[in-house]
Every structure is written in C-alpha cells, then in structure tokens.
C-alpha cells in the first residue's frame, strides 16, 4: 500500500514538471518565432510604459508627495487633500510623545510610497477640522481616498499596542485601507520583528469605515 502511495506522488510530481516544461517550451517557441519588428514593438511598449510611470511620479512629486510635510493650518488641509487621490494625515500635538514615534515611521513611508501624500497637522491649529472629524485620541491618522476619509488609525491599537512597532507594521495597516500600494500579505501583519507580547487588532479590509469625516474615539491618549 505504501508503495502505491509513493507511486501516486511520483506520478503527480512528474505531471507537474511536465506542465512547467511545456509552458517554458511554449514561451521559448513564441520568442523564437518573433521577428525584428516584433521585438521593436515590444521594446517601444516597454519604453512607453516606463515614460508613463516616470511622468506619473513627477506629477506626484510636484504635488508634495515623496516627503513627510507639516501643513500650517486646516485651510491648507482641504487643498492638499483635493489635489491627491491618496492622503495620510497625522493629527498630532507637540506634547504627545507617541506622535514623535509616528513621525519617524511616516517619514520613511513617505519616501517609499510616492503614490501617497503624507502630511501632518497640529490639532491645536485646526479646531474646526478636529471637531468635524471628531478626533479625540492623539495621535490619529486620517486615511483619505479621493478627498474622503475612509479609515482611521487611532493610537497604536492596530499596530500591536506597543510603542516599538515596526515601520513594516504601519505600512501593512495603511495597505489594509488601500491608501498605499501594498505588495505584501494583507491577511496577516508582518509580526516577525514584533515582540512576543504585542497584540494586534484584526483589520478586515472589507469593513473599513467610509462614513465621511467620522471616528468613534472619545478620549485623548497622551
């Protein structure tokens, strides 16, 4: 019986290898049948794609992407959000130590994810906006897409309930809200570098809040 099981596994492995080999052969055949004009057209399409990507990057940079910036007042907030599809705004206070922790990580992510605008705003200079967004806990990240707040990162609850969360964990959390282009696994946070006592609040991508300018926070975290 054991021999039959081994024979079956061997057969499956051989079949799998054959499928891979056939696919490679098909690709090689396709390449061998391409003439000079085909290669030239492929090259032109590739160059066009690169030019388009570079143009998009330059457009983002011209709008203040690629760096983590402070905006002086709530008036600038609306213009900054209006001109960019994806925005992460850190609502902070100078007296709150955890805001400085977020600053460090956001500065790194701003350079990595040029597709998203990263800004910060002092809540003491934005009383109307803070009230409108019902921001009570500091720090809070407002994650905005197409000019509307889609989700909030309130305090460090979603980041493992620790001050020592990694930049990768914050990146994952922003990816869950689709406010950055995230290439990792959204189903699980990158906990390999986290301390064993860190606890994560499970984030379901499909249940991300999209109720306009809204949050349920009702206390301040200093």
Using CB atoms within 10 A of its CB, is residue 8 exposed (0-12), middle (13-18) or buried (19+)? exposed
pLDDT digits (tens, 9 = 90+) for 8-27: 676 677 777 778 877 787 77
| Cβ-contact 177, 210 below 8 angstroms | no
> DSSP 3-state assignment of 91?
strand
Cα distance between the two ends of the chain: 67
Q: Is the pLDDT of residue 165 over 70?
A: yes
- CA gyration radius for the chain? 24
Across the chain, mean pLDDT equals: 81
What proportion of the chain, given as a percentage, has pLDDT over 70?
Answer: 79
- From-to residues of CATH 3.40.30.10 in the chain: 65-207
Q: Is the pLDDT of residue 218 over 50?
A: no
Q: Is the pLDDT of residue 7 over 80?
A: no
> DSSP 3-state assignment of 194?
coil
> DSSP 3-state assignment of 153?
strand
Q: % helix / strand / coil in the chain, to the nearest 5?
A: 50, 15, 35
| Cβ-contact 32, 52 below 8 angstroms | no
| Cβ-contact 217, 135 below 8 angstroms | yes
Report the CATH number of the 65-207 domain: 3.40.30.10
pLDDT digits (tens, 9 = 90+) for 186-206: 888 886 444 444 555 555 443
Question: Is this model's pTM higher than 0.75 or not?
Answer: no
Query: In 2-155, which ranges are E strands?
Result: 68-70, 86-92, 117-122, 140-145, 148-154
């Amino acid at each position: 019986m054991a021999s039959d099981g081994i024979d079956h596994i061997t057969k499956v492995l051989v079949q799998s290898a054959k499928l891979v080999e056939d696919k490679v052969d098909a690709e090689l055949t396709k390449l061998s049948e391409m003439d000079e004009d085909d290669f030239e057209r492929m090259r032109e399409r590739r160059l066009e794609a690169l030019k388009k990507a570079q143009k998009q990057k330059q457009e983002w940079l011209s709008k203040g992407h690629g760096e983590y910036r402070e905006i002086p007042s709530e008036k600038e907030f609306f213009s900054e959000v209006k001109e960019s599809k994806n925005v992460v705004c850190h609502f902070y206070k100078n007296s709150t130590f955890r805001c400085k922790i977020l600053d460090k990580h956001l500065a790194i992510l701003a350079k990595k994810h040029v597709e998203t605008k990263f800004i910060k705003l002092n809540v003491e200079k934005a009383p109307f906006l803070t009230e409108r967004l019902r921001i009570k806990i500091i720090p809070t990240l407002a994650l905005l897409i197409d000019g509307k707040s889609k989700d909030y990162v309130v305090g460090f609850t979603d980041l493992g309930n620790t001050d020592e969360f990694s930049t990768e964990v914050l990146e994952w959390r922003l990816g869950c809200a689709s406010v950055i282009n995230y290439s990792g696994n959204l189903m699980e946070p990158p906990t390999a570098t986290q301390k064993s006592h860190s606890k994560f609040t499970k984030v379901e991508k499909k249940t991300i809040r999209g109720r306009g300018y809204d949050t349920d926070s009702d206390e301040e975290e200093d």
